[in-house]
Amino acid sequence: MKPLILILCTGNSCRSHLAEAILRAAAGDILEVASAGSKPAGYVHPLALRALAEIGLDASAHHSKHLSEFLQRDVETVITVCGNADQVCPMFPGQMNRYHWGFDDPAHATGTEDEQFAVFRRVRDEIRRVFEAYAAGRRDGVKSTVPV
């Protein structure tokens, strides 16, 4: 059984979905990855989906969900990507790790759609660097526990 990594954000509409899709692509074979929010927006932001599609990731099946859906699950690691979620995050059954890696909320970007999308791209790329490095570290950990 793969360990469950839960990525939390307040609205579960942008940052947490970007991180979920990126981490699943980078380590979905060794980790189960999900995202949720403390106050779900009820949708995944279209510009987040577009930013993921631009790097070859399809998150069209993602949906916004409440963190309470995971309170009965064994969650190994909780990663919050916004300050509000970090402050209200409960402990989950089996939780061994908790990290807070904050990112700007691209949903607050203003200007033209192109200007807003530039912010989504920037945040996506920041999330990608952090979560791909995390996936690489987890892979190294798995390799070091496998007998040769």
Q: What is the pTM of this model?
A: 0.91
DSSP string covering 53-110? HHTT---TT----BGGGGTTS--SEEEE-SHHHHHHPPP-TT--EEEE-----GGG--
The order of strands in the sheet holding 97-100 is 32-37, 4-9, 77-80, 97-100
d(C-alpha 125, C-alpha 120), whole Å: 8
pLDDT higher than 60, residue 148:
no
Residues 89-124: pLDDT tens digits?
667 777 789 999 999 999 999 999 999 999 999 999
Rounded to whole angstroms, the Cα distance separating 24 from 57 reads 10
**Cα angle for residues 99, 104, 106 (degrees, 5° grid):** 125
The CATH number of the domain holding residue 126 is: 3.40.50.2300
Residue owning tokens 């990112």: 103
Domain region containing 14: 4-145
Domain count, the chain: 1
Tell how strand 4-9 and strand 77-80 pair up: parallel
Residues designated as active site: 9, 82, 89
- What is the CB neighbour count within 10 angstroms for residue 145? 6
pLDDT at 144: 67
**The pLDDT of residue 4:** 96
CB-CB contact of 108 with 47 (8 Å) = no
Could you report the per-residue pLDDT of 42-68, keeping only the tens digit for each? 999 999 999 999 999 999 999 999 999
Structure confidence at residue 146 as a pLDDT band (50, 70, 90) = low
